[in-house]
Amino acid sequence: MSNHHADQATFSEQFLAGQRYWQTSHGKRQWQAEQQCLHQQLSRSGMQHALELGMAPPLLAHDSIRHRIQWAPQRDLAEHPSTLICRPEALPLADESLELVLVHHLLEVAPQPTHVLREAARVTSDSGRLILIGWHPLGIAGPTRLKRCHERFYQRSRWLTPGRLRDWLRFIDFNIERIDYCGFVPFENTPDWLLMERWGRRHNLPLGRAWIISAKRQMCRMIPLKKRFNPAAMLGSKASVLACTPHDPLHPLQASFSPASPERTDMASGNHDKRRSAATPTVVA
């Protein structure tokens, strides 16, 4: 088996494990925290066409988005007949055809995360938004990954920092607009811990279990080219020649345009007569 097929088989296993994890009690609590934070960003966005790449139940199902595309790497992993079946690094969609692309905890398990990110950016329109969600290694769940035995699915995945994602996004000409954090409480939460969740989200503390990055394409500002102001060109061809000719009081064109004193004019005419007399041959009878 080649490395490509081995990576695809491993990715399919991780995708299936991710689907099972988001159906557990821990996964449902984290999904709810991310969905509430995401809903605050998209409640007034007015976007109509969106694509969601991930393993969890749809996060955009409760938002006012008319056309939502669900995705799966294989047909047997799809939950609906209308699900888009393809590799995440090769989307059969046109360039800049979607207003919103959501990548939900997929970069952590994809064999080539940079290729997945580049493909998601390709189908995002210039005025659209690219949203990434991933586990935060510096949050409250970071110390759990130090254990030798990673029991849960999310502990075995490859966690990325927002700084790493910022570098990747700059490489594909995307800028981060905002970073939100969610999941501030333990999974075994109580009403007292829920108050801490709301407090942490209000102040956007970088201690959440997951980060939500919203990015947009970097648009280069076009600077119109203007002709340089050249007053010599406005005076005609003679003035243009004057602008390009070094200053010489004996030059016939400059003598006609440049004002000169009577003494200087006499000197110039005298020198000119001397040149003419020197240039004229003397005929001896």
Sequence-ordered list of residues with C-beta below 8 angstroms from that of 13, at least 6 positions apart, any chain: none
Give the C-alpha separation, 274 to 116, whole Å. Answer: 84
CA angle 4, 166, 91 (to 5 degrees): 40
**In whole angstroms, what is the distance from residue 120 CA to residue 158 CA?**
19
Under 8 Å between Cβ of 85 and 72: yes
Question: 2-99+106-111+133-217 has which fold?
Answer: Rossmann fold (3.40.50)
Residue 221 DSSP label: P
Provide the pLDDT for residue 257. 46
The CB density around residue 71, as the number of other CB atoms within 10 Å, is 20
pLDDT in the model for residue 202: 84
Q: 94 — alpha (psi -120 to 50), left (phi > 0) or beta?
A: beta
pLDDT given at position 98: 96
Q: What is the pLDDT of residues 150-160, one digit of tens each?
A: 556 666 778 99
pLDDT of residue 184: 86
**Each residue of 24-73: pLDDT tens digit?**
988 898 999 999 899 888 877 778 899 999 999 999 876 678 899 999 99
Degrees to nearest 5, angle at CA 208 with 11 and 142: 60
Pairing of strands 210-217, 67-72: unpaired
Give the model's pLDDT for residue 70: 93
Using 50 as the pLDDT threshold, list the residues of the chain that sit under it: 1, 148-149, 239-242, 244, 253-254, 257-258, 260, 264, 267-268, 283-285
- Lookup result for tokens 């969601």: 52
Closest CA to 181 of 213, 210, 141, 161: 210
CA dihedral for 231, 234, 237, 239, sign (positive or negative): negative
Q: How many CB atoms lie within 10 A of CB 26?
A: 15
Output 76-84 pairs: Cβ under 8 A, ≥24 positions apart.
77/12, 77/15, 77/16, 77/19, 84/51
Can you give the pLDDT at residue 253?
46
